[in-house]
Amino acid sequence: MPSKVSALDMPDVPMGQLPEHLQMQRTRVVCKADAPIYTEGIQYSGAYASMGIDTSMGINNFCKNFKVEVVRLTKDEIEFDMIGIDASLANAFRRILIAEVPTIAIEKVFVVNNTSVIADEVLSHRLGLIPLDADPRLFEYLSENDIPNERNTIVYKLDVSCKKGSPRVTVKSDQLKWLPNGSELLMSSHENSAKAKNFTSFSCSQESLPEFSRKPLGVKYDDIILAKLGPGQAIELEAHAVKGIGKVHAKWSPVATTWYRMLPEVVLLKEVKGTDAEKLVKKCPVNVFDIEDLGNGDKKAVVSKPRACTLCRECIRGVNEELVELRRVKDHFIFTIESTGGYPPEELFVEAVKVLEEKCDRVISELS
């Protein structure tokens, strides 16, 4: 029968500090060869109260522990560490980034002429997925009862043809031209009719507005292939872009993708020397381990790049399970965001925080 262990049998630990094995269970996920252990997240706030440890989700504890550290920033991608939060909050930011941060995308396509091999609806779908170089924060949403105007709609025109006897023409996204004065098409088929109106109602040119005058409202990437025209074929259309969110349609998602993972922690439980060290280094496909020369022909394995660990578990299979331990830090997340172009990548996370703040305000107002 297993013996009972009382609090009196535990080694002396100062108040406000947990024993090593309990600290491991609270802050780490240990990845064994078959399955991870200590995977529980948030614990009961009084679980370690007798030891002077407060695990409650108070605002003071959050402000004290939460940190954001940027690791890598490029034109289209950002990688940063979020420290001091639970996985549920990290996942909330991920879901908001994918589905609730608004962008601008083409919603309506008015086809005047399309004699290419691509059907109208397929061409319209491809146009809707083109990332536009327009800041959605400068625009308003267009509801069913609103009239398209300079504050809620961007109009683009595509007019390309391939003359007979000419080589094939490749239609690319840079041939979409911005119409700052709005639609040029008439809703009535009788162009001379006094009642004929455009599909938009712009009170002024978007070029005259200070927020849009700094740069033209073009496309983010100029080399996206839309269609290929043979001799005698042509495409003429107008595309109207509006503001929306990703949970309505994926074309409004501001990210190509966004993901997070817990910070890897690779620990050598014993010194690994000689040929065993070389075998361990060769086992890892992402070069987490390296060889350190001790002199006199001796060498040992060291952990050089723990952050690169992908949890393939090759290093702990077989005899190495007693030598290496793979861990994940529960409150430290490596977060990566790939922008599609509507926002700079460093601004996307800030917009997600604003959306979450609005959600919290709504919940508080409902409760009060």
pLDDT, tens only, 101-118: 999 999 999 999 999 999
Sheet holding 177-178, edge to edge: 103-114, 234-244, 154-161, 177-178
What pTM was estimated for this model as a whole?
Answer: 0.84
Shared domain check, 273 and 227: no
For residue 179, CA distances in Å to 40, 105, 264, 290 come to 55, 15, 50, 58
Shared domain check, 131 and 216: yes
Sole residue written with tokens 């409150």: 331
Shared domain check, 262 and 237: no
Shared domain check, 352 and 217: no
Cβ atoms within 10 A of the Cβ of 194, count? 6
Report pLDDT digits (tens) over 81-106.
Answer: 999 998 999 999 999 999 999 999 99
Rounded percentage of the chain residues whose pLDDT exceeds 90: 62
* Phi, psi (degrees; rounded to nearest 5) at 63: -65, -30
Within-domain flag for 335: yes
Shared domain check, 345 and 229: no
Euclidean distance between CA atoms 83 and 60, whole angstroms: 15
Mean pLDDT of 181-203: 75
Please name the amino acid found at residue 342: G
pLDDT at 319: 66
pLDDT at 1: 44
Shared domain check, 157 and 111: yes
**What domain count does the chain have?**
2
Cβ atoms within 10 A of the Cβ of 146, count? 14
Q: Buried b vs exposed e over 212-241: b needs ≥16 C-beta within 10 Å?
A: beeeebbbbeeebebbebeeebbbbbbbbb
Q: Which of 195, 227, 252 is the last residue of a domain?
A: 252
Within-domain flag for 3: no
Within-domain flag for 15: no
Euclidean distance between CA atoms 123 and 129, whole angstroms: 10
Report pLDDT digits (tens) over 233-258.
Answer: 999 999 999 999 999 999 999 999 99
Euclidean distance between CA atoms 171 and 225, whole angstroms: 6
Shared domain check, 231 and 122: yes
Sign of the CA dihedral with 343 first, then 347, 352, and 354 last: negative
Confidence of residue 20 (pLDDT cuts 50, 70, 90): confident
pLDDT at 335: 96
* Phi, psi (degrees; rounded to nearest 5) at 318: 75, -135
- pLDDT, the chain, mean: 88
Within-domain flag for 19: no
Q: Buried b vs exposed e over 124-137: b needs ≥16 C-beta within 10 Å?
A: bebbbebbbbbbbe
Shared domain check, 170 and 83: no
Report pLDDT digits (tens) over 295-337.
Answer: 888 899 999 999 999 999 888 887 667 889 999 999 999 999 9
Closest CA to 56 of 66, 64, 46: 46
Within-domain flag for 22: no
Closest CA to 317 of 284, 270, 277, 289: 284
Report pLDDT digits (tens) over 162-191.
Answer: 999 899 999 999 999 999 999 999 876 544
Helix axes 87-99, 345-367, angle to 10 degrees: 110
Query: Is there a contact between 339 and 345 (Cβ–Cβ < 8 Å)?
Result: yes
SS3 content of the chain, % helix, strand, coil (to 5): 25, 30, 45
Shared domain check, 70 and 164: no
Q: Which of 252, 270, 296 is the last residue of a domain?
A: 252
Q: Is 318 left (phi over 0), alpha (psi -120 to 50) or beta?
A: left
Shared domain check, 110 and 97: no
Q: Which of 196, 223, 252 is the last residue of a domain?
A: 252
Shared domain check, 283 and 244: no
Cβ atoms within 10 A of the Cβ of 288, count? 24
Domain interval for residue 238? 103-252
Closest CA to 127 of 217, 200, 248, 219: 219
Euclidean distance between CA atoms 327 and 305, whole angstroms: 14
